[in-house]
Amino acid sequence: MLKSAGVRLGFIAAVILSISAAFATEPPKVERLIKGGVPAEKITIGEAEYIGVPLTGAVFKARIDTGATTSSIFAVEVQEFERDGKPWVRFVVRNDDSKETFPLEAPVAGVAKIKKRGQEGFTRRPAVDMDLVMGEVTKRIKVNLADRTGFEFPLLIGRDFLAGLAVVDVSLSYTQDTPGAPARDEKKSP
């Protein structure tokens, strides 16, 4: 009797394991509440995407970087000042692809402390609140102002934008139909 009970338990364990294995082959889906144009499930994006920046009225090529905590935009002539007793910043956003520049002023929303690889200490960068648009998704985040001279992409999208929103497939690029971006057949590889 003990032997037959052991056989039954072994059989039940094998069935449970095979059912678990069948379900494990399906990738997990994360259900989300729909809020302000954010999809109910995570979207799959590529290692580069076009991102709309309504503050400038332009679309920028962006590097998707899951290793970066914060997002940054190519800004030069960054000058911090005070307006009505509050910190503000004046800056020029550059988009070298389109040769456009956008002189802007905005309240300082925070300060990013960026550690440069192989160097001691941190670089201080002011950050401003910006809406960023990728495909049908708009998300407001703090974007730090960085001199990205010499970089291919004027915009770097970090985990602050990606968290809870997207999964990155590095074999893909320009997967989203962002308003104002080139049509899919016109998109360049990074």
For 98-148, how does the pLDDT look when each residue is reduced to its tens digit (9 = 90+)?
899 999 999 999 998 877 777 777 888 999 999 999 999 999 999 999 999
Q: How far apart are CA 44 and CA 111, in angstroms?
A: 30
CATH code at position 61: 2.40.70.10
Q: For the segment 142-179, what is each residue's pLDDT rounded down to a tens digit? A: 999 999 999 999 999 999 999 999 999 999 999 999 99
Residue 149, domain extent: 43-186
Residues of the chain above pLDDT 90, percent? 64
**Nearest to 161, CA basis, from 137, 190, 126:** 137
Is the pLDDT assigned to residue 17 strictly greater than 50?
no
Is residue 84 domain-resident? Answer: yes
Q: How far apart are CA 25 and CA 2, in angstroms?
A: 35
| Per-residue model confidence (pLDDT) at position 97 | 85
Distances (CA, A) of 9 to 14, 15, 16, 20, 22: 9, 10, 11, 16, 20
Is residue 11 domain-resident? Answer: no
Q: What angle do CA 59, 81, 160 make, to 5 degrees?
A: 40
- Confidence at 92, pLDDT banded by 50, 70, 90: very high
Domain count, the chain: 1
Is residue 9 domain-resident? Answer: no
